[in-house]
Amino acid sequence: MSLVITEQDLRYFVYSVKAASEYDFSDYSEKSLKRRLIKVLTDNNSDLKLMITRIKNDRMFLEKIVKEITVNTTELFRDPLVWQNLKYKILPVFQKNFKINIWHAGCSTGQEVYSMLILLNELGFLEKSKIIATDLNTDVLEISKKGVYKYRFNIGYLDNFDKVIRENPFNYEEHNDVPYEKYFSIDKTKDSLSFNWELKGNVIFRKHDLVKDGLLNYAKFDLIMCRNVIIYFNYELQNRIFEMFYENLFTGGCLVLGLHETIMGPVASKFEKRGQVYFKK
């Protein structure tokens, strides 16, 4: 029998998590939160009442549920067109910068961060770049730090890598013969794809909750990557986060969103939109 979660159930879940912890899902999109809650209840073979009783009494269990309720899907060079745009049009804007500060907000298991590190290295910008990668979920941050992934789940990465690193969509004659081993090693017997350690020198991975923790206590940023994160938030929370990103960017700096994400509120006028990229005016 399929589980039914009413609006009241959802509010009770959100309220219980908030009362027992610092996590606040009040302004997450109801539709996707409801879908996730049904999935988590099914995976845990539980009903809502039982789950909430445990949430109230068992902090470890609460942390586990919070991690399961958020969506962590990601991949290397996800949406290659966006990365080609970053490579040829966006990152070159920072060519003359003495330093490039980048924030990956909601980095999940880190493939987006490794994509950026590879791109920066190919452009000769890695040495002068400082990257902070954050997420709410400490489990995904641990995976990010290790940079080791299941090969069989990530074969599609290689196609994306080819499109972004080897090919030039603006000049099909050009082919850059960059070997995969320059950035990662593949061990098919161990089913692993591991990023090279040298890449990680300029990255800090840190827990940060976009809802509660506010501005990053760090220098301002030239580039903020926040892709496929705010899609799970409601309109009010999205606007709060966009205001925060605006404050955290240098003038001329840019915010990159996911393919299905747009700034729609009053803060939109403070940015100039070019595709999925928003430049701070």
Q: Which stretch binds ligand SAM (CB under 6 A): 81-89, 159-167, 207-215, 259-267?
A: 207-215
**Does residue 211 interact with ligand SAM by CB under 6 A?**
yes
Q: Provide long-range contacts, Cβ within 8 A and 24+ apart, for 7-15.
A: 9/37, 9/48, 10/34, 10/37, 12/48, 12/52, 13/37, 13/48, 13/51, 13/52
**Does residue 216 interact with ligand SAM by CB under 6 A?**
no
Which helix (DSSP H) or strand (DSSP E) does residue 224 occupy? strand 221-226
Options 37, 136, 165, 244; binder of ligand SAM; rule CB under 6 A:
136
Q: Which is nearer to ligand SAM, 30 or 128 (CB)?
A: 30
Size of the site for ligand SAM (CB under 6 A): 21
**Does residue 106 interact with ligand SAM by CB under 6 A?**
yes
Per DSSP, helices labelled H in 29-173 are 30-43, 48-57, 59-69, 80-85, 111-123, 138-146, 156-161
**Does residue 229 interact with ligand SAM by CB under 6 A?**
yes
Q: Which is nearer to ligand SAM, 147 or 258 (CB)?
A: 258
**Does residue 131 interact with ligand SAM by CB under 6 A?**
no
Euclidean distance between CA atoms 63 and 20, whole angstroms = 11
Interface mask (CB under 6 A) for ligand SAM, residues 61-90, using x and -? ---------xxxxx---x------------
On the CB side of 188, CA atoms within 13 Å amount to: 1
Euclidean distance between CA atoms 41 and 121, whole angstroms = 43
Binding site for ligand SAM (CB under 6 A): 70-74, 78, 106-108, 112, 135-137, 140, 209-211, 227-229, 258
